[in-house]
Structure 1
Amino acid sequence: AKRGAESQSAWRRNRIYWRNFLNRTMSKPLSGDEHPVKEDEAADLSEADDAFEEAEVGPVEHKIEFGLLFDIDGVIALGLNPLPQAVEMMKLLVSPETGLPVVPYAFVTNGCAKGDSKARMMSKWFNATISPEQCIHSQSPLAVFTKWHNKRVLFVGQGPILEIAADLGFTKVFTIDDVKEAYPLLDMVDHKNRAAVAKGYKENPDFPRIECIVSIGEPDRWESYLQVLIDLLVTDGKPDIPPEKYPDTHLPILACNLDLVFKAEAPMPRLAHGSFLLCLEALYEKVTGNQLHYTHLLGKPSEITYRFAEHTVTKMAMSMPNCGPIKRFYFIGDNPEVDIKGANLFNQYLRRYRKLSGSLSDPPTHDEIKALRHKIAISKSRMIPEDAEFVRHSAKLFISILVGTGVYNPNAKSLYGPHVYHGHRDIQRDDELTKPHFFFEDCLEAVRFILDKEKVAHN
């Protein structure tokens, strides 16, 4: 009873703190019981309240019905070092006897490293068994984009991109260097290449036509990449044949990681993959007079990434004997514009799914799923792929939790005025979506609170 009273008190303190916090930091003031969200979001908050308060508080033996999702940098680590709070937090989530999870969880980052290398590093951090499947990167959902796996795909990024592409299921992968070698005349912004071409060159007319572009991260030579990518876009993937006029359509583009900037050791934010995409969009439109269109956008805050994360943790829960169907997800992040916005967007996606899926067969047919995904999608570039196979939704609520150990600092002044928007042009600006359901100082405090409210015993 004492613990239950303490937990209820913590719940109320958090709501009071969060209301005051919003008054200080957000544009729309709060008073009394007001919450600056739309009617549907208010319903979600009420649902969250009900989920926490529907039963007597206190640890009991029962099936786990929730999943946890964490951003990495700024939530559980800074750079290559884990946060002390995260080390303590993981002790609550992992059995000391087996090193295996006691609740289903995964990590969702906009980085583009190989999942197995990240998993090994994090396993050492926390002295726990973390699988590559639990480390979801911005490109990870491409594993279910089977439509493109046997296409001739140009991969853009740095690091072991050929290995990453193979791990995701792509079988015919090319790089910018492959294209430049086949067509030496393309890259004239490289003055060394100009000098080499002046001495003689040879094209490869048999080089295959590129059928799709996949950009998983910013490259190292933006000027060369931008030139060659535009060449491929306006020639339908065969840049040795100039077009008679610039086409109205272009090659499919799948872009991962929409972050404009990121926080590193430098005192100012650093340009990220979203900045490279912005350059490509601006140059393509300036050159052709047409807007660049994305076939798919992946990475936070795109709904596709959160659907993949839901799928991953739900599958994990199915293999855990102490878990039942997942009814609630908690996403813990440090960036309101990315982590929180994405979680809230996916919460809206789940609401639309519940509203529109009532008449489906049990189990639903492929055609029913395909039609439903078209109805639910806000934009074509953020639609769940028709051919993607996921476990069925069981969650009804995606709860967003902001922590103060990374990008967001409630006591710091923002560098940007209210008119500045760093989000991608295909994701609507809505300041309400950047407001989390709850705020905690760090991930340890957040997880303790969640475990208390979900009645999971812990130290």
Structure 2
Amino acid sequence: ASTVRQVRGTLSLSNWSVLQTSPVSHLSGRQVGVLFDVDGVLLRGGSVIPAARRALRKLVDQNQSFLFPVVFVTNAGSCLRHHKAQQLSHLLDVQIAPEQVVLSHSPLHMMETFHNKCVLVSGQGPVTQIAHTLGFQKVVTMEELSEQHPLLDMVDHSRRPTSTPSSSRILPQIQVAIILFGEPIRWETNLQLIVDVLLTNGRPGCVYDTRLSAQMPVLACNMDLLWMAEAPSPRLGHGMFLLCLESIYRKLTGRRLEYEAVLGKPSLFTYQYAEQLLRQQNQNHKLSTIYAVGDNLMTDIYGANLYNRYLAKHHTDTMSDTKLVAQGTGTPVPVVEEFAFAAQCRSILVCTGVYNPQSPLPGDQNVSETMLHGQNDLKVEPDLVEPSHMVEDVEAAVDLMLQQESPN
């Protein structure tokens, strides 16, 4: 409760920074990069937030080139990277390249040890194609698994087989991992089949063995409990699905579900990956400041502040990179050799999405229990959910950045 009170005290409407700044064609000598969240900041579902187009027009020059490096970081994961870039370009009326987009699953392409093993994927959209573009060579979908083992999915009576079907295709054993791209369409089917695979060590046609000495690795993308679409209130996100899966696994085994990796905001892995993309746009020159604009305290603001803490500790050499990442999210992140990290990451909260300063926080209980996915290594501290700046919308966020970075 004290955390909630402190957050509310910091994020009052009187603290909004609404600045009137004209676009600039050049900035100060500092090297600046910007990370934009999408849902709740630029879009509400398929609709553009009115301030979004005005904001982005202030970030491009007469040739429609961005004034400084910009990356769009979203926890969405049900599409391909170039499709998301095309969608954003069309809706926001600016040219956005695929290299400027980070989806929740994008960093998986760096996890090469899993790429040549058979993996099970859950989510929606072109999951097989998504997995292949990330480097995974042997992919089994939930639909394929259900077709191969039709007696496993028994919740929907209308889809129950009337006889034992035979299938000509024999699927390979799930060898290495389960990859959870995002919230699936039929939660009951996905929960059942994922549990079947976990408790049989990749052989869902066999009897459960709840005494397995080792759990099959699970890679989860997107921890958002809530996200903002066209509806008046936030919608359930993939983090809620993960909570259901964790609860079922603990109930059946008495053990905690462990994750090999958790990706998407607020994972440090995702922010490190996004900074590399900013650096590529900046001719590989080091950035001084990264501004991260978002609408969700528990993903955008928490993640940006956690990354800022990581950057500060990295520059003071108080701990190794690997230990820092493990402290933040429990996900091992490979150290980037000879990578000069930015000096700081500043978080900017907008009030056009999940966060609404006029609405109470869910349940008015401890914020870590109501709004943050219950990862064991994610600890909510007041300073991690306190934005560097709070503004009304993304246009005000851009005005703030331009004023901060323009020559005096």
Quickly name the TM-score band, shorter chain normalised. Answer: 0.7 to 0.9
| CA displacement at 1:292 relative to structure 2 | 0.6
What's 1:451 paired with?
402
Query: Which of 413, 433, 447 pairs up with 2:384?
Result: 433
Query: Which of 179, 189, 192 pairs up with 1:227?
Result: 192
Q: Give the Cα–Cα distance (whole angstroms) in 1 for the partners of residues 171 and 317 of structure 2.
A: 47
| CA displacement at 1:77 relative to structure 2 | 2.1
What's 1:15 paired with?
none
Unaligned runs of 5+ in 1: 1-22, 31-57, 359-371
Question: Compared with structure 1, are the counterparts of its residues 390 and 191 closer, same or farther at alpha carbon in structure 2 (3 Å cutoff)?
Answer: farther
Structure 1 residue 422 corresponds to structure 2 residue 371? yes
What's 2:275 paired with?
310
Query: Which of 342, 345, 348 pairs up with 1:401?
Result: 348
Paired residues of 2:220 and 2:259 also in contact (CA < 8 A): yes
State the AA in 1 paired with 2:396: E
| CA displacement at 1:148 relative to structure 2 | 1.4
SS in 2 for 1:164: helix
Paired residues of 1:25 and 1:410 also in contact (CA < 8 A): no
Higher alpha-carbon Rg: 1
Decide which moves more: 307-316 or 201-210.
201-210
RMSD in angstroms over aligned alpha carbons? 2.8
SS in 2 for 1:326: coil
Structure 1 residue 208 corresponds to structure 2 residue 161? no
SS in 2 for 1:398: strand
Decide which moves more: 390-399 or 328-337.
390-399
| CA displacement at 1:61 relative to structure 2 | 6.6
Deviation per residue, 1:195-243 (Å, 9 max, x gap): x2x4233367953111210001111111111111111101111123335
- 1:31-430 to 2 correspondence within 5 Å? 62-97=28-63, 99-112=64-77, 113-194=79-160, 196=161, 198-202=162-166, 206-210=170-174, 211-242=176-207, 245-318=210-283, 324-356=285-317, 372-379=320-327, 382-386=330-334, 392-419=339-366, 420-426=369-375, 427-430=378-381
Paired residues of 1:74 and 1:334 also in contact (CA < 8 A): yes
Paired residues of 2:199 and 2:209 also in contact (CA < 8 A): no
State the AA in 2 paired with 1:448: D
Q: Give the Cα–Cα distance (whole angstroms) in 1 for the partners of residues 27 and 47 of structure 2.
A: 35
Question: Compared with structure 1, are the counterparts of its residues 415 and 200 closer, same or farther at alpha carbon in structure 2 (3 Å cutoff)?
Answer: closer
Paired residues of 2:30 and 2:288 also in contact (CA < 8 A): no
Q: Give the Cα–Cα distance (whole angstroms) in 2 for the partners of residues 424 and 290 of structure 1.
A: 18
| CA displacement at 1:25 relative to structure 2 | 6.2
Question: Compared with structure 1, are the counterparts of its residues 95 and 290 closer, same or farther at alpha carbon in structure 2 (3 Å cutoff)?
Answer: same
| CA displacement at 1:127 relative to structure 2 | 3.0
What's 1:26 paired with?
6
SS in 2 for 1:93: coil
Question: Compared with structure 1, are the counterparts of its residues 328 and 268 closer, same or farther at alpha carbon in structure 2 (3 Å cutoff)?
Answer: closer
Question: Compared with structure 1, are the counterparts of its residues 155 and 390 closer, same or farther at alpha carbon in structure 2 (3 Å cutoff)?
Answer: farther
Deviation per residue, 1:86-106 (Å, 9 max, x gap): 212212211222x22121011
| CA displacement at 1:374 relative to structure 2 | 2.9
| CA displacement at 1:128 relative to structure 2 | 2.3
| CA displacement at 1:81 relative to structure 2 | 2.4
SS in 2 for 1:325: coil
State the AA in 1 paired with 2:386: K
Paired residues of 2:266 and 2:303 also in contact (CA < 8 A): yes
Q: Give the Cα–Cα distance (whole angstroms) in 2 for the partners of residues 390 and 298 of structure 1.
A: 21
State the TM-score, normalized to the length of structure 1: 0.77
Aligned length: 388
| CA displacement at 1:84 relative to structure 2 | 2.7
Question: Compared with structure 1, are the counterparts of its residues 204 and 230 closer, same or farther at alpha carbon in structure 2 (3 Å cutoff)?
Answer: farther
Q: Give the Cα–Cα distance (whole angstroms) in 2 for the partners of residues 28 and 215 of structure 1.
A: 33
State the TM-score, normalized to the length of structure 2: 0.86
Q: Give the Cα–Cα distance (whole angstroms) in 1 for the partners of residues 168 and 267 of structure 2.
A: 38
Question: Compared with structure 1, are the counterparts of its residues 273 and 132 closer, same or farther at alpha carbon in structure 2 (3 Å cutoff)?
Answer: same
Paired residues of 1:296 and 1:380 also in contact (CA < 8 A): no
Paired residues of 1:258 and 1:274 also in contact (CA < 8 A): yes
Paired residues of 1:294 and 1:381 also in contact (CA < 8 A): no
Counting aligned pairs with the same residue, the percent is 37
Paired residues of 1:260 and 1:422 also in contact (CA < 8 A): yes
Q: Give the Cα–Cα distance (whole angstroms) in 1 for the partners of residues 45 and 317 of structure 2.
A: 42
Q: Give the Cα–Cα distance (whole angstroms) in 2 for the partners of residues 24 and 272 of structure 1.
A: 22
SS in 2 for 1:242: coil
State the AA in 1 paired with 2:97: S
SS in 2 for 1:332: strand
What's 1:50 paired with?
none
State the AA in 2 paired with 1:254: L
Q: Give the Cα–Cα distance (whole angstroms) in 2 for the partners of residues 242 and 266 of structure 1.
A: 43
| CA displacement at 1:24 relative to structure 2 | 11
Question: Compared with structure 1, are the counterparts of its residues 189 and 327 closer, same or farther at alpha carbon in structure 2 (3 Å cutoff)?
Answer: same
| CA displacement at 1:332 relative to structure 2 | 0.9
